[in-house]
Structure 1
């Protein structure tokens, strides 16, 4: 790989780190944000605010992933990645100065659009610039950047830093974009970086089955992941309030979600070499099913066991996300790859946004987050049912 491609890869990793940070900062600091915006830190109003804001963020993620994925196919991967990174960081930095829940939701919607673009374009770029033999390892490292960002949010929460301080730190992620992307954009006309083809529609028409398989496998896992990501910190503080109102266990929960994901994403390469892409995905599904049944069905009695179980589930979450980051783009040809990848990754996110919106309502109806999270995890069975079709596609490629 040339120096320019290594710089591109580095920027994809930094962008993923920023995405994990800006995505997780609101769930991590939800009680603080809710207290400021609606005057309720853990009650029904806080749950409603959390559901609405997270759903708007995911809807924005969907819109950005699809629309800006198409722009990346037509206008260039690197410019879209740079603009989205700066936008995500600056918008997050504005949130402490927002006093209206409506405006706060709008800012998170736009932030989600930027994050959606980053996740699609970085995965597409990774598949296009990395050599095939080294791709599982390097894409696993790239995928863990998001989890590292989650860990950063949890660590800062555990150190009792204020929300205002944390989002100001996140704004610093935009600085590398201005430094590194300038020389890259000048050369973004290179055919290995951009695809200015006008045959995207026909390519999508020929890839309907691949889009359906990719969207289902990615989406079913994502629903379970985001349900855990959005509501486990709040549930943890209810179960184990301690002397700090649950702030410590919320931070530990986010760190477990991120830390387990990092380890899982780093181990994706040997798993892929050993059992292949699709069987690796099946292993991840089985691991998360077992973890969900224990966590939501039994409920650990101690905070340490609770956090350890989350870390184990996150291991399989992280491995699946790393695997999907190159499995999905590999399903498609270079022409329209970003658009097709954006559809796969974001059809599932659209359904996820609806599911996350309903979890708060289901929790109120059933009397707690435990039952709502258990019901949401049942979508994993749909993903497992699709595995045979994915194996069939792989055998015919």
Structure 2
């Protein structure tokens, strides 16, 4: 969980410094769209490249190397003096982050009992919003002491410190160690993920990942800066990040037990529907009201909790030999959405949309994954031979 916390902190930190960097560099808010997207594009490439590498060489070495890489690159980020340089550092940091996330979830799930894998992965991934939440709480103080650079320095030093404990104490996946056939340790080919019913399920699942990650990373990256653009001070704008990630922690812990008990195909459409309503509410509720706090908490609960449900479903439908690759590919293709979300926010601002109007555009997109899970459920029900993959 500690590594996931560091991962969450380093992913969130760019959104926390944007309200400070904008005035300092004389940038319009819309200029941060490409910077946000660069880091998330790196996440996409990291997930693609290192899921298969972990299936061949093990989860532990990839996690350790990823932690060292994104720590070093975060530590170098304060050298940036322009949006282009900042985007470049975020891109390479993103590759390290992308290598860590799917392998952390896969390793955790493979250590857990079969009926509790979704809950175990959800509990581990709570570290992601927890790290982002702690970053949001610390941001005003750290910026006051060391400027925006202080957030990146902290986000670089801590992962580097963690590498040695990971090498010494992190246990390799028992399922990965137990494989004996040479073929199992070959890089998994993409076509393996499209056999039988997966030929239909995998593309629909990828589309669900794209839509939810678009919404999730739109909120992670734009929520603080949109509230700042509406007149909120640094403390209030960063507090939106705290609320979002606090809701995300609840979602990671709350959704995965429901998935374990009732199945992702029953639970996920309901979660996505509630998430869409919460995001629409953010766009119409007065910023200072207590209902706004509830709406942001629910948006975090829904987007991050639903993502854990999607991740769990992806882990359940693929066999152990393909699991990291299957989840890695789903997250990687989903990163198209995580890149598009920040870019869409920047585009809408450039087109002179009001900050509140952006949520009215994003809200309906949050419902799309729910419709896709309904389609997957109908396909599953039509199969003559039911498998455990669809009891997830």
TM-score, structure 2 as length reference: 0.87
Question: For residues 184 and 224 of structure 1, do their structure 2 counterparts lie closer, same or farther at Cα, with a shift above 3 Å needed?
Answer: closer
1:61·1:349 contact (CA, 8 Å) conserved in 2?
yes
Rounded Cα–Cα distance in structure 1 between residues aligned with 2:223 and 2:187: 44
Deviation at 1:249, TM superposition (A): 1.0
- Out of 68, 77, 91, the residue aligned to residue 50 of structure 2 is 68
Match for residue 390 of structure 2? Answer: none
Rounded Cα–Cα distance in structure 1 between residues aligned with 2:104 and 2:361: 32
1:32 aligns with 2:20: yes
1:167 aligns with 2:169: no
1:16 aligns with 2:4: yes
- Out of 278, 292, 299, the residue aligned to residue 265 of structure 2 is 278
1:214·1:345 contact (CA, 8 Å) conserved in 2?
no
Match for residue 47 of structure 1? Answer: 30
Deviation per residue, 1:191-221 (Å, 9 max, x gap): 3699513563442241332321221222211
Match for residue 349 of structure 2? Answer: 363
1:200·1:336 contact (CA, 8 Å) conserved in 2?
no
Give the RMSD, CA atoms, in angstroms: 2.5
1:257 aligns with 2:248: no
Deviation at 1:83, TM superposition (A): 0.6
2:277·2:363 contact (CA, 8 Å) conserved in 1?
no
1:240·1:303 contact (CA, 8 Å) conserved in 2?
no
Deviation at 1:55, TM superposition (A): 0.6
Match for residue 217 of structure 1? Answer: 208
- Out of 76, 84, 106, the residue aligned to residue 94 of structure 1 is 76
Deviation at 1:358, TM superposition (A): 2.7
1:294 aligns with 2:281: yes
Deviation at 1:68, TM superposition (A): 1.3
Deviation at 1:378, TM superposition (A): 2.3
Deviation per residue, 1:97-142 (Å, 9 max, x gap): 2223222211100111111111111122223221112323222211
Rounded Cα–Cα distance in structure 2 between residues aligned with 1:160 and 1:177: 24
1:252·1:307 contact (CA, 8 Å) conserved in 2?
no
Question: For residues 192 and 267 of structure 1, do their structure 2 counterparts lie closer, same or farther at Cα, with a shift above 3 Å needed?
Answer: farther
Match for residue 248 of structure 1? Answer: 235
1:141 aligns with 2:123: yes
Could you list the structure 1 runs, at least 4 aligned residues long, displaced by more than 6 angstroms after superposition.
185-189
| Unpaired runs of at least 5, structure 2 | 388-392
| Unpaired runs of at least 5, structure 1 | 1-12
Deviation at 1:230, TM superposition (A): 1.3
Rounded Cα–Cα distance in structure 1 between residues aligned with 2:187 and 2:299: 42
Match for residue 236 of structure 1? Answer: 227
